Chains A and B, each alone.
Chain A
Amino acid sequence: MTYRIALVEDDSRLQANYAQALQREGYDVATYSSKPEAMSAFARSLPDLAILDVMLGEEMAGGFDLCQHLRSLSPVIPIIFLTARNSDLDRVSGLRLGAWDYLTKDTTTLDFLPARISALFRTVEALRSNTTENKIIQHKDLQIDEDRKEVYWKSHPISLTLTEFWILVCLARRPGHVKNHEQLMEAASVIVTNNAIAAHIRRIRDKFQDVDSDFKAIRSEYGMGYRWQP
């Protein structure tokens, strides 16, 4: 089957470019330039995956509104945020909007977008299949279901974005081993700065500490890298 992707992006050229690239990958892409336009379309039919620009025209947080609207329509639709602002990442992560992933609009976006989209669809598949032969990483209090992208800490579910999930998996696969920024970037399929990796790590820690204030399992190695050391 062909997955239908809704792309909500106010910049027409960017919209056209991304749409082109995705269609080349074999997806059916519906493009919208504004929140109302997208809303009315979602009311008629839901896409299989939505890519939302956070800032839509004059609306600084139009994408977030759309995300909440989509979630109210369907709890499982994968949503990817596109943003030009790094500061939005914290909001995406913090708002618990049920966004599954986000990407910054930069030169590398198109390098990673297809891979991520397919990863998300695989996850959706995994959730649907209900098989119990998923790849599970179990390490003391940590339990990771790689296919379903589900993370539990002391039996509490931890809701991570795709990038955060991949970084955590990279660390938890080899407890005690230091992973430097490059390795983590590679694992998360992003090209970002060291600081961006640090921000991701911070957000992961925050999410663990929300359920366990004593969480100290992710250690930084003098700013060179990180290791999982529960």
Chain B
Amino acid sequence: MRFSLRLKLALLSLLLLLFPLLGMRLNNTLKNSLITSQQETLSLTAQAVSAALTDRNDLFDREQFHGLNQDRDLYLFQLSNTIRLDGNLDDWRPELAEAEEFAKEHLISSEGNYALKSLNFRHLAGKQDKYLYALFDVQDDHVIYRSKNSLRLDRSDHLQIVIEDNQSRKKYLMTAHEQGWVNAFLMPDVPIKFPVSEQRIQGVWHQTDRGYILEIRIPLELLGNKLAFTMADVDDVESRDIKALIGTSNLQDDKAPGLLLTTSTPIEEILKSLDRPYARIRIVDRNQRVRAQVGSLRTSEIPTDHNNKLSLRINELMRPLYRFFINPFLTEFKDQASQPTELDLHGIREGLAGKHSVTSYLMEDGQVEVMAAITPLYEQDQVIGAVVVEQTTNSILSLSNRLIEETISLSVVAFLFGGCILLFFAFRISARIRRLRNQAASAITPDGRILNTINKNSASDEIADLGRTLDSMLSQLQQQIEHREQMADNLEHEMRTPLAGIAASVKNLRQEQLDTNPSDRIMEYIQWVERDVQRMEELLTSIREATTLKNALLLDSMELFDLGRAVSVWLEHGWRPAFNKVDILYQAPEHEVLVNGDPVRLRQALEKLVENAVSFHTPGTAIELQLEQHENDISLLVINQGPIIEPDMQQQIFHSMISNRAVKDKLPHLGLGLYIVRTVLDHHDGRVSVQNLSDGRTGVFFTITLPGVLKNEIS
């Protein structure tokens, strides 16, 4: 395969592809360093928050960070959805997943052996608006409702609620005659009193296959800082004894109900003052409960500078390409459970054990990566919680993506632009080289003339140098040839005078001898000298004819004549008599083959070719002349069988003083014959060329081409 310069340069332009690779590499480095710095920033933020909160005893006291008991403390979620008291659990999602199972380990009392299916429940409590909502999804193999004709509230399955603040403790009971709406009753401090219906604590009792669901709500203003729920299970309709009690706090042994834990507004205020945009700061207590949270993971879109239309268009065009390289991420996502929850991050336990760490996790099916710095929160050298500062890597990703996009755009632009420039350059260079090659190729015509067609280029590069070198080579060659021709001319002229002198002397000698009755020998000598002088003169004449031909031709007159007929005449009256031992075949065309030329000169040229053919022909073979009229020109072939001409000689032989003859014959040969042919043909705007026969015979054919004459040109 030909590996052209253009192709090579085009391939070289592929090196431009290194740009995007470098860009990617740089981008990775940048991304890593950004991530590192983000980690450091987060870590520092976490430590700063931690420092800001450290030793705020009052705060932590007030916010109940001490004496936490996970078994008793009730933790309020911030509910995402509006809860409808309807026995349907759907509106509790997504917090429903956080619901805690209450079973044997929360057993307060039990008649006989505790059976799981007799009583266990899922419980979830949360805040919404001005209410505390609580859910009890109870498994109970015997749901016992309150008897219509009983005043006792505790002789059926029921819920006990204990609310305590610094001054008082109130106990409420909720039970149901049947499925549906239920209210709480405030239990009197003293058993004599009757329970009072508390309309503000409302609920819905909904029976299920497994047991029942109880959804309740308590206005926040009724709550203190402690709260406990206890489920009582009655299984026997007759005896109606409480078979088991399972609660969030064991109130039987007179312990206080568990703390009602929720997010701490004062701490959040402090955190807000720290103001970390695009970051979420969360404080967890020792039980990994989120006790304060500010900020959001949401990032605002990083403003792009697609303010001008061009870059916008480019961006749109490139989008499919970008997609291969950039890391997609979601900018729109739900902040994960923005309500208080139990935070279970990798490293949070270590954080609570006093270790700093930075971790990251994926959200939203891996579409969002969140980085979290966790640092312990101390109070008097005691870890009482941890600060978790989180931030998505979106800003980094978007930055990195933008870098990638810009890299790609720039690469593509550079590739197109650079590629175009390189290609243009390649085309230019290769065009220049080709032009030079063509000029060099046409500098020597097929008939061996040198036409210096090389344009001298003023450019100062290697190609121009090459052109100039070729040009000077050709000029030298031209000079050589001219010099050779000139030399022949001078030689001829210089020799003529002494030769004329010899001839004159011999002539006189003969005359003088004739007067003195010479011996035959002397006369013979004189004759020999005369003959040799004659031969030398013939040589000189042929040189003169060739060398002065160009000038002589300028004076010749052109006329229209029928070449077909002329060749017949020349053959009949000139060549056949002259070369009577050789067959010369010629079929004259039926129509006139008109040419405009000097018949004497054309005859001379053809005669040279015929002579040439005669001297080279294999004895016994015929020489053929073929005249053909074409559309625009006329060709005349002179064919002889005999030795072939080497291809590199096929142009050379038309130069003067080039002889390819190994044949010796009587005629003088100086290699001028074909030169004369060429010169005559040039003068007639014709061409002459030689080729070896390719029809199975061995030999050569010379082709003379002359411009044709159209009939209508003849005036």
A residues sitting closer than 8 Å to B (CB atoms) are 11, 13-14, 17-18, 20-21, 24, 84-87, 90, 105-111, 180, 193-195, 198-199, 202, 205, 220-224
B569 in the interface (beta carbon within 8 A): yes
Beyond A107-B499, A107-B500, list 18 extra A-B contacts (CB 8 Å): A17-B504, A18-B504, A86-B544, A86-B548, A107-B537, A193-B545, A194-B604, A195-B545, A195-B552, A195-B600, A199-B555, A202-B556, A202-B557, A205-B557, A220-B559, A222-B565, A223-B604, A224-B570
Counting CB contacts under 8 A, is B458 at the interface? no
Check A105–B497 contact: CB distance below 8 A. yes
Contact partner of B533 (CB less than 8 A), chosen from A13, A107, A221, is A107
17 contacting pairs across A/B (C-beta < 8 A): A14-B497, A17-B504, A21-B504, A21-B507, A84-B496, A87-B548, A105-B497, A107-B533, A110-B508, A193-B545, A198-B601, A199-B555, A220-B599, A220-B600, A221-B569, A223-B599, A223-B602
Which chain A residue has the least Cβ–Cβ distance from B496? A84
A87-B548, A194-B604 are contacts. A109–B504 as well, Cβ < 8 Å? Answer: yes
Give CA–CA (A212, B175) in the complex, Å.
150
A90 to B503, CA, bound (A): 25
Residues of B within 8 A of A193 (CB): 541, 545
Q: Decide yes or no whether B511 CB sits under 8 A from chain A.
A: yes
- With known contacts A14-B504, A21-B511, A224–B541 Cβ distance under 8 A: no
B334 within 8 A of A: no
B:522-542 near A, CB below 8 Å = 530, 533-534, 537, 541
- Cα-based distance from A198 to B598 in the complex (angstroms): 10
For the complex formed, measure the closest distance between the CB of A114 and the CB atoms of chain B, giving whole angstroms.
Answer: 11
Chain B residues 494-516 with CB under 8 Å of chain A are: 496-497, 499-501, 503-505, 507-508, 511
Interface residues of B (CB under 8 A from A): 493, 496-497, 499-501, 503-505, 507-508, 511, 530, 533-534, 537, 541, 544-545, 548, 551-552, 555-557, 559, 561, 565-566, 569-570, 573-574, 598-604
Set B500, B545, B602: member contacting A84, Cβ < 8 A: B500
A164: min CB distance to chain B, Å:
15
Report which of A24, A195, A220 forms a contact with B511, defined as CB distance below 8 A.
A24
Q: Is the CB of B503 within 8 A of A106?
A: yes
Q: Which 8 A-B pairs have the closest CB atoms?
A: A17-B504, A223-B599, A223-B603, A107-B503, A222-B566, A105-B500, A223-B600, A198-B600
Distance in angstroms from B577 CB to nearest chain A CB is 12
B511 cross-chain contacts in A, Cβ below 8 A: 21, 24
User: Which one, B493, B504, B507, B555, contacts A85 given CB within 8 A?
Assistant: B493
State which of A24, A198, A199, A223 has its C-beta within 8 Å of the C-beta of B570: A223
Q: How far is the CA of A202 from the CA of B565 in the complex (A)?
A: 23
Complex alpha-carbon distance, A194 and B552, angstroms: 13
Interface pair A222/B603, CB less than 8 Å apart: yes
Q: Which chain A residues lie closer than 8 Å to B544 at the CB level?
A: 86
Given known contacts A21-B504, A223-B570, is B603 in contact with A105 (CB within 8 Å)?
A: no
Of the residues A20, A199, A220, contact of B508 by C-beta under 8 Å = A20
Complex Cα distance A105/B492, Å?
12
Q: A21-B511, A198-B600 are in contact. Are A110 and B504 (CB under 8 A)?
A: yes
Q: For A11, what are the chain B residues with a Cβ–Cβ distance below 8 Å?
A: 497, 501
- With a cutoff of 8 Å between Cβ atoms, the chain A residues found around residue B541 in the complex are 193
Q: Least Cβ distance of A157 to chain B in Å?
A: 23
Write out the residue numbers on chain B whose beta carbons fall within 8 Å of the beta carbon of A90.
555
Verify B573–A224 contact, CB threshold 8 A. yes
State A93–B555 Cα separation when bound (angstroms).
13
With CB as the reference atom, state the residue of chain A lying closest to B597: A223
Cα separation A222 to B563 with both chains bound (whole Å): 8
Partner of B569, one of A85, A110, A194, A222: A222
A13:B505 contact, CB within 8 angstroms: yes
A193 to B496, alpha carbons, bound, how many Å?
Answer: 16
Complex: how many Å from CA A109 to CA B569? Answer: 33
Q: How far is the CB of A57 from chain B (nearest CB, A)?
A: 13
Asked whether A199 lies within 8 Å of B552 as measured between CB atoms, the reply is yes
Chain A residues, CB < 8 A from B534: 107
Known: A21-B507, A90-B555, A193-B545. A224 touches B499 (CB 8 A): no
Q: Which residue of B lies closest to A195 (CB)?
A: B545
- Inter-subunit contact B561/A222 (CB<8 Å): yes
When the two chains form the complex, which single residue of A20, A21, A106 contacts B499, counting CB atoms closer than 8 Å? Answer: A106
CB distance from B426 to the nearest CB of A (A): 54
Q: Tell me the nearest residue of chain A to B567, going by C-beta.
A: A222
**Which residue in B507, B559, B603 is a CB contact (below 8 Å) of A110?**
B507
Please give, as numbers and ranges, the residues of chain B lying within 8 Å of A180 by CB-CB distance.
573
> Which B residue's beta carbon lies closest to that of A216?
B559
CA distance A92 to B505 in the complex (A): 27
Taken together as a complex, chains A and B put the C-alpha atoms of A224 and B607 apart, in Å, by: 12
Docked Cα-Cα span, A99 to B472, in Å, equals 47
CB distance from B527 to the nearest CB of A (A): 13
Chain A, Cβ-Cβ closest to B541:
A193
By beta carbon, the residue of chain A nearest B537 is: A107
Q: Which of A20, A84, A202 is within 8 Å of B497, CB to CB?
A: A84
Among A14, A106, A205, which residue has the most Cβ atoms of chain B within 10 A? Answer: A106
A24 to B507, CA, bound (A): 12
* A109 near B500: Cβ-Cβ < 8 Å: yes
Query: How far is A13 from B530 in the complex, measured between Cα atoms in Å?
Result: 17
CB distance from A191 to the nearest CB of B (A): 10
Contacts of B500 in A (CB 8 A): 14, 84, 105-107, 109
Among B501, B551, B556, contact of A14 (Cβ-Cβ < 8 Å) = B501
Cα(A94)–Cα(B352), bound, Å: 127
> Given A195-B545, A220-B599, A224-B574, are A13 and B555 neighbors across the interface (CB < 8 Å)?
no
Q: Are B501 and A13 in contact (CB under 8 A)?
A: yes
A105 and B496: CB pair below 8 A? yes
**B667 → A minimal CB distance (Å):** 14
Expressed in whole angstroms, the Cα–Cα distance for A199 and B573 within the complex equals 21
Tell whether, in the assembled complex, residue A17 and residue B573 are in contact, meaning their CB atoms are under 8 Å apart: no
Complex interface: chain A residues within 8 A of B497 (CB): 11, 14, 84, 105
- Closest A residue to B494 by beta carbon equals A84
Residues of A within 8 A of B508 (CB): 17, 20-21, 24, 110
Measured between alpha carbons, how far is A20 from B508 in the docked complex, in Å?
Answer: 7
| B714 CB to nearest chain A CB (Å) | 15
CA distance A188 to B504 in the complex (A): 21
Q: How far is the CB of B597 from chain A (nearest CB, A)?
A: 10
Interchain CB contact under 8 A, A202 and B599:
no
Give the complex CA separation of A106 and B539 in angstroms.
Answer: 12
CB distance from B615 to the nearest CB of A (A): 20
A87 to B549, CA, bound (A): 10
B-chain residues with CB within 8 Å of residue A86 when the two chains form the complex: 544, 548, 552
